[in-house]
Amino acid sequence: MVVLVTGASGQLGQSLQFIASHYSEMQFIFASSQDLDITNTERVLTFFEQNKIDFCVNTAAYTAVDKAELEHERALFVNVIGPKNLAIACEKSNVTLIHISTDFVFDGSAEKPYLESDETNPIGVYGQTKLDGEKEVISNCDKYFILRTSWVYSKFGNNFMKTMLRLAQDRTELNVVSDQIGTPTNAVDLAEVIVAMIKSKNKEYGIYNFSNEGICSWFDFAKEIFKINNVNIQVNPILTEAYPTPAKRPKYSVLDKSKIKSTFGITIKNWQEALAQTKI
């Protein structure tokens, strides 16, 4: 079974590379943006024609939430045009597409965990481009899984965990937002779920949510990061209004994982347990 992973230099792409050796029955093709520019229609079609592919896992994304407010066109190309090109190529070559999306497709006004069927309403450019990318996938191929996830971190790439540990190296205290609620996602756990979905050969295509279990704020997340890494630093809770950013963030980003658990028979770790396994 041949699995193409686009965006291979990002943290989820690197997480898939990290676990790939455990799955000898799969042949992975890891393609960074230099190897395969998903925004180039002809290059994508040619790549699929030249390689026998069974699954395409699209981890490529423009994820700079604040910069997206100023770089709308760049975000659109990577998050919308890219998935469209991959979906067209997958449909043409009879390939199943697994596309990674985000909790930012929601506005964060909910009071209970979001279901896949809940109404979307992005409040920023990043979320809107990710939602538009989902729509392109749905419109252009029949065999697809869209995985919405949240607060992704790992030892790889750039993420909140690594930022907190870096800032703690030369500070004695940090202020962290406490009124944005969600669930962290260990990128290696997400990678393992993607592989489990591929191995299952399940054809119940559609949209699925995945994060680790539990609920916390960014403040809670930061405190736990410092705790497991034995970092002694004062962490102060602040409100969103005290830390203005170019892009608005959803106040509530908890995802309901019932569908993916029942469809694929997976168990999901609590976020604290998953974080403890990512000690740096």
Q: Could you give the residue numbers annotated as active site? A: 126
Nearest-5° angle of CA 61, CA 67, CA 72? Answer: 70
Cβ atoms 225, 164 nearer than 8 A = yes
The secondary structure of the chain, three-state, reads CEEEEECCCCHHHHHHHHHHHHCCCCEEEEECCCCCCCCCHHHHHHHHHHCCCCEEEECCCCCCCCHHHCCHHHHHHHHHHHHHHHHHHHHHHCCEEEEEEEHHHCCCCCCCCECCCCCCCCCCHHHHHHHHHHHHHHHHCCCEEEEEECCEECCCCCCHHHHHHHHCCCCCEEEEECCCEECCEEHHHHHHHHHHHHHHCCCCCEEEECCCECCEEHHHHHHHHHHHCCCCCEEEEECHHHCCCCCCCCCECCECCHHHHHHHCCCCCEHHHHHHCCCC
Residue 255 pairs with which residues in a beta bridge? 114
How many other CB atoms sit within 10 Å of the CB of residue 196?
A: 14
